[in-house]
Structure 1
């Protein structure tokens, strides 16, 4: 899932967001160990893991084989699946630590990818193609590059040593993109919590962005995310013959209700993460928007700063709960008054709010007792925001300064959702880490011709290795 891409585009000056295509750095020739890593990445992206025709179980088995070849014993590798969805399996690997006091850390990654139709793509989505400094394939950006890095790190630490002080666990799961069927992170959290128990977890959601010309201009640590809920807004009416219309019409009533949803603004809210985000990201901009962001971080009641910041849709979403109509249905015949009309309203709920408080706000905004507002659809847990912990931020800040001199590390809250939601509720704070980077156009994640810059993949691999070993040593 890469919903955070929109928010990251918004961090950069708006002119940058229109640059496409991005220009990749010319990659250096691969070293021997990078070539091995490239083969691992290639194996992952060329393993189809879509819900329609792929198999996460096959991908998990291939990663288990690589870890076993690196020296993992059978009792350190747990392949799992459920009978109802045998192709939606995953893997948990455990690398023991030497410390008896440090609690484990968890590396989390999803194996499944968004659907990709060959007839729509310029290249075969499940054949890795190297072109103009990029690797093209479905999953190249979301998120098999990070999955490959996690497996690579676990293999190198096992094979080459030394053993880390802190136990490191790896959980590769299915269903983050297609969790309406089965979600492996949810299954592990609910049925095998001891297997993945950890003091904290590292996940997707962070990372860097370029200026569209190959230069990395910002890195992010994702600290928290919104929760996703859907509500059905419905109007009903006795109906009747269309030749004798009446004012009380379910479609009109629904339209009036949706107009009120459109016009309703949820209260502006800041937490530790978003306050730090606006302060640091704003200071890095050096323009009127940046100054407004800094002012708002100091005083959320600053009307002029708020007006400017909320004029950007990404920033506006970072500041409050948002609800938007996404689908609509109504009527039963072309020559009849509608008896029923409904719409789905998708809400992204700010941490601290709940489905119930959001539902109540919608009911109040609509202000029509004849309109029903019903919670529907897939229910993820309400996200539990992790703390803005200096023990997490500190090592990452040092490494960003080392790898990307002068580039800020900005804490961010995702306006989308990841599998971190399933870990937070069982007491595992989960962070989306920096390292690799993408371009302002999103690199085709969830879309056509998905790609990952080769230099980003290789530098990101080294960064994550250093980050994991830093956390594992203290």
Structure 2
């Protein structure tokens, strides 16, 4: 699930939809297109599609390229036979070098044919765009990872470290999650020193010129909380002030008015520092001032006008569901609400629960975790070992384009790896539009040129990491 930081920058008028210049594909790009087409055209949405079919198809391609059966594992859960995962490995030459993991999810959001202009499960190339469900989220990266391993195998490339790939199911729905299953039951298959994942793309201006390239380091933690107020109730003709709905509504009003304090980390500090010159002068000046002095109220007010930038700076909580009462002529015996929080990395879920309880300010309103507790881990550090190869390979395709660190305000499967002690970075190199190019919506698409450029970039980057210390 991608929540692009680019949306915040659209206010600076940096991005507008622009037609891509069609060019005849190279022979290797044509081969990649066939793999990509096969992946996109297998429906892997829930409940009717099958991730297992995608995993098996990509395993067959890797085997045809020379991978041994022992290095290809299609992993399914007995209760979820259609939600399979593929784990593959290209072995390195140095047993002491920690492996790297290439992660992508192969499940997609459901798509109704009657709502789409084109068949969502047919790859259609039109006017410089690829259309189809998953063309961007996340089969673009899944196809690139698979294609990269095939190319390396066919070229006889010998990496220093093992290159592992996990194509997983369940990122888009909560019934089953492939990467958490692999961590819990098959950790040796996916264990690594670091991982590359979705979560960061590139920014284009109105003329399709790259403005900035993003690298994700860390993401906020998703967590729901349930507020409950109960009461003996009674006949509505004899109302009393002690009303469950009133207690709950007052608590929600208090939470709605509350703002968690802002807190920078290395990633968000780097983001606002590097974005300041790329946005309009007023916002840019406020970014610089806020980085220099987080207590600067005027700068904070200016920056947090944008919901995305505000969300990057603080934990946020918002009421999303309310249910109360049992009859129109009776006093309510129960009133409940769901409050959805996106928590800054490193902040514990219990700490946020206690804050909500305190802010609600009513002993007759309980606050409890709603659903499973999300894993919490620190934001990975963008070390020189991570940044130098990225800067080196990006400069070959996009010279002088600044690299901007970001923290996802949404969530990806990287949260499970980070909580398991595997630093995970969002690196795609896929330049897209500020409107999200239909991700999770109708007529999902990706620029043909952007996809082919991302393929070249990620292939070179993986090889660079594979031989670096």
Task: Select between 24-33 and 349-358 the one with higher mean Cα deviation.
Answer: 24-33
Partner of 2:364: 370
Q: Which residue of 2 aligns with 1:318?
A: 312
Measure how far apart 1:96 and its partner are. 0.6
SS in 2 for 1:25: coil
Check conservation: 1:211, 1:440, Cα contact below 8 A.
no
Q: Distance in 1 between matches of 2:335 and 2:443?
A: 38
Q: Deviations over 1:272-292 (max 9, x none)?
A: 111111111113335110111
Which blocks of at least 5 consecutive residues in structure 2 are unaligned? none
Check whether the contact 2:22–2:127 (CA below 8 A) recurs between aligned residues. no
Query: What residue in structure 1 maps to residue 208 of structure 2?
Result: 214
Moved more, 166-175 or 398-407: 398-407
By how many angstroms is 1:127 displaced? 1.1
Q: Determine if contact 1:199/1:429 at 8 Å carries over to the other structure.
A: yes
Measure the CA separation in 2 of the matches of 1:165 and 1:387: 23
TM-score, length of structure 1 as denominator length: 0.96
Among 305, 309, 326, the residue aligned to 2:303? 309
Match of 2:91 in 1: 96
Pairwise CA distance, 1:313 = 0.6
Task: Name the counterpart of 1:472.
Answer: 466
Asked if residue 359 in structure 1 is aligned to residue 353 in structure 2, the reply is: yes
| Length, aligned pairs only | 468
Q: Considering only aligned residues, what root-mean-square deviation do their CA atoms show, in Å?
A: 1.3
2:141 and 2:428 in contact (8 A); partners too: no
8 A contact 1:284–1:408 mirrored in 2: no
Shift of 1:16: 4.5
Distance 1:161 1:298 in 2: 50
Give the match for residue 9 of structure 2: 11
Aligned equivalent of 1:39: 34
2: distance between equivalents of 1:100 and 1:354? Answer: 36
Once the two structures are superposed, what CA deviation does each residue of 1:222-263 show, in whole Å capped at 9, x if it has no partner?
000011100011112221122222222222221111111111
By how many angstroms is 1:397 displaced? Answer: 1.7
Tell me, in whole angstroms, the C-alpha distance in 2 between the residues paired with 1:162 and 1:398.
20
Alignment match, 2:135: 140
1:163 matched to 2:161 = no
1:102–1:165 contact (8 Å) kept in structure 2: yes
Q: State which drifts further: 264-273 or 240-249.
A: 240-249
- Whether 2:2 is the aligned partner of 1:2: answer yes
Contact between 2:247 and 2:362, CA under 8 Å: does it hold in 1?
A: no
Alignment-derived partner of residue 26 in structure 1: 21
Cα deviation for residue 12 of structure 1 reads: 4.3
Q: Quote the residue 2:377 is aligned against.
A: 383
CA distance in 1, matches of 2:239, 2:69: 72
**For residues 468 and 147 of structure 1, do their structure 2 counterparts lie closer, same or farther at Cα, with a shift above 3 Å needed?**
same
Aligned pairs for 1:417-432 within 5 A: 417-432=411-426
Q: Is the 8 A contact 1:276 1:297 kept in 2?
A: no
Q: Quick check: 262-271 or 121-130, which moved more?
A: 121-130
Write the deviation string for residues 75-134 of structure 1: whole angstroms up to 9, x where unpaired: 010111011100011111010111233211000010101111112211111111112211
Cα distance per residue 1:30-88 (max 9 Å; x no partner) = 11111110111111111111111000000000000000011000001011101110001
Residue 213 of structure 1: CA displacement?
Answer: 4.4
Contact preservation (8 Å) 2:20, 2:129: no
Choose the corresponding residue for 2:48, options 42, 50, 53. 53
Cα 1:353–1:198, aligned 2, differ >3 Å: closer, same or farther?
same
- Whether the 8 Å contact between 1:90 and 1:171 is mirrored in structure 2 is yes
* Per-residue deviation, residues 386-427 of structure 1 (Å, max 9, x unmatched): 112111111112222221223211011001111111111222
Secondary structure of the corresponding residue to residue 119 of structure 1: helix
TM-score with structure 2 length normalisation?
A: 0.97
Per-residue CA deviations over 1:130-179 (Å, capped at 9, x if unaligned) read 1221111010110100000000000000111221122100011100111x
